[in-house]
Each structure stands twice: as structure tokens, then as C-alpha cells.
Amino acid sequence: MRELFYFDSMITPKLITLVYWIALAMLALACLSILLAGEGGIVVRVITVALGAPLGALLIRVYCELLMVLFKINDNIQKLADRGGQRTGADRMQP
């Protein structure tokens, strides 16, 4: 509980997965509404959904992965700070 109140750990990375699934569900509902009540003929609507759904899913995935990368960078910087700048054998350059 201390981690939550003193910001020792991030809660947002845990929520990104939930946001991802909610966004995919919203994309599915949008595609369904386009198919059922969209403008234009059925062929145009099917083509729109066939092209838009995979592209939308890909963009949602990329956005969530970029957010996760930012939090991974934060975790790695925190590990470096906790280590106190000590170098390990793997960090040293070999002549």
C-alpha cells in the first residue's frame, strides 16, 4: 500500500492492457455501426471496415506499446538509480 501512496511504483502500466482491450472493443463497435448504418452502399462499407479495422487495431497496438516502452525506460532508469551508479563487469569496456 505504501508504494501506491508514495509513487514508488507505477500503476499505469497495469492499466494500459485494460485500455488496449477497451479500445479494441470500441473499434469493433465502430466497425459494426459502419456496417449497419454507415453512408454509402454495402460494398463501400465492407471495404471500409475491411481496411479500417486492421489498420485501427494496428494503430491501437502501436500506441499502447509506445506507452509501455516509456514505462520500461522509467523502470530501467529506476534500477540504475537504485544501483547507485555502480558498474558491473558487463558494463566495463574490454580493451
Q: pLDDT tens across 62-71, in order?
A: 999 999 999 8
Residue 68 burial (CB count, 10 A): 15
Q: pLDDT tens across 5-51, in order?
A: 776 677 787 889 999 999 999 999 999 999 998 788 899 999 999 99
Would the pTM count as exceeding 0.85?
A: no
Write the CA distances from 42 to 26, 36, 46, 50, integer angstroms. 21, 9, 6, 12
Count of residues making up the chain: 95
| pLDDT at residue 19, rounded to an integer | 93
Q: Which residue type does 14 have?
A: K
| pLDDT at residue 63, rounded to an integer | 94
Q: How far apart are CA 31 and CA 46, in angstroms?
A: 9
